[in-house]
Amino acid sequence: MNTATLVVGIAELVQPAAKEGDGRSPIEVTRDAALLFAGGIIIAAGPRATVAAHPRAHRAAALDVGGRAVVPGLVDSHTHVLFAGDRIDELARRTRGETYESIARAGGGIARSAAAVRDASVEALVDATLPRIDSMISRGTTTVEAKSGYGLSPEAELKQLRAISALAALRPVDVIATALAHAIPPEFETERQRYVSLFCTEVLEVAAREALARYCDVFVASIAFTPDEARTIAAAARALGLGLRLHVDQLADDGGAALAAELGALAADHLEHTGAAGRTRLAESRVIATLLPGCALFQADALWPDGRALRAAGCEVAVATDCNPGSSMLTDLTLCASVAATRCGLSLEEALWAVTCGGARALGLLDRGRLVPGEIADFVVVDAADWRALLYWPGDSRIWGVFKRGDRIFSGDRRTDEDDA
């Protein structure tokens, strides 16, 4: 039997509820707590005296976190983290008043990232992405979704998915791959249906056969795929056993939330323009509503998604970084949670739920996000006794340690006041 580890000195243990709603707090906080795990799986968690009395606790190795708070490992459920090159000059042009659309028409935007991906090898894509994954880990992320979508040809989409699997083998975080139908390549603009068919047969079928993706995603928007094209792609994904997630209502309220409900998507992401009818449909259909507040933080002309209205409608809400080189160049999920609270109307408790249990649910993962027995021991030790410190310094890490399946994969080296004493 594996030696167990007993984590002690936990000032606050934060355990998200299995579901949001019913008027209860989305998280439960236990003071003076302990956590017991073995083989990377949680055995017991709760009040110190209760956990210490567990039979497996007696010969356990002790890990004292020195009076700090412990929260679940963060789950970033929507990213385009795998790309090549950068688009720094596009940021500069937008700050001078050019629009995303005008830059895209002049060959920038997704097409520019696609050209960089087409020219890169799998190894180069992996090398370019690893520092971003490391940055995510340093901010508490222990599970990350990564999408293709900068290929814009079947061959390059599959290259991206192969690079995503290679990433997963090089870092201790779990990487969940999604095949994304991101845009119609310009050369297919007059025969869109042919690209939709190619995506289904030459991307999704291969991805499913070679286990290169768990999900399919479609960007539904006037500049990307129509609802009917999304229906065709979703039907193909379902037949292949791939789960569905959608980018919807990012640029206008064009019925994307209702489409996500109709198609049984696990998650509907963006939702900047979703109105009351769409919010109700998401709640009724139990589609996880994912906010990507990095887009409004990064782009002056983007709207903040209305997290408060989504919660009031009864939606369960996740928050993700949407890490990408054009519209949300962010790897810090704690920053996104903080901004989801200050700009999108979530409480701090809802924001923490959104990046832990919410992110896990948005990826269909039931084995993480809550710090309860049977789950994997993914957790973050906050460098403060009050867990809310994690969200109180946006952009400035308050993380003492990040643990994946019980192993410490990041140590914060912040000096404390005591160091100066």
| DSSP symbol at 16 | E
Q: Which is nearer to Zn ion, 322 or 375 (CB)?
A: 322
Angle between helices 154-170 and 110-119 (to 10 degrees): 70
Q: Which is nearer to Zn ion, 147 or 361 (CB)?
A: 147
Q: What angle do CA 18, 23, 27 make, to 5 degrees?
A: 40
Q: Which is nearer to Zn ion, 183 or 348 (CB)?
A: 183
- Count of residues near Zn ion by CB under 5 A: 1
> Minimal distance in Å, beta carbon 278 to Zn ion?
18
Q: Which residue is nearest to Zn ion (CB)?
A: 322
Q: Which is nearer to Zn ion, 219 or 400 (CB)?
A: 219
Distance CA 145, CA 164 (A): 9
Closest to 196 in 3D by CA, of 163, 234, 166: 234
Closest to 35 in 3D by CA, of 73, 75, 70, 74: 70
Distances from the Cα of 206 to the Cα of 86, 109, 182, 217, angstroms: 29, 27, 18, 15
Among 174, 254, 272, 322, binds Zn ion (CB under 5 A): 322
Contact 341, 347 (CB under 8 A): yes
Indicate whether 217 belongs to the interface with Zn ion (CB under 5 A).
no
Distance CA 127, CA 131 (A): 8
Question: Considering only 113-121, 308-316, 318-326, 350-358, which stretch makes contact with Zn ion by CB under 5 A?
Answer: 318-326
> Minimal distance in Å, beta carbon 187 to Zn ion?
23
Q: Which is nearer to Zn ion, 316 or 322 (CB)?
A: 322
> Minimal distance in Å, beta carbon 31 to Zn ion?
38
Question: Considering only 48-56, 117-125, 315-323, 397-405, which stretch makes contact with Zn ion by CB under 5 A?
Answer: 315-323
> Minimal distance in Å, beta carbon 145 to Zn ion?
10
> Minimal distance in Å, beta carbon 256 to Zn ion?
13
Distance CA 329, CA 345 (A): 22
C-alpha 110, offset from chain centre: 20
Q: Which is nearer to Zn ion, 77 or 334 (CB)?
A: 77
Contact residues for Zn ion, defined by CB under 5 A:
322
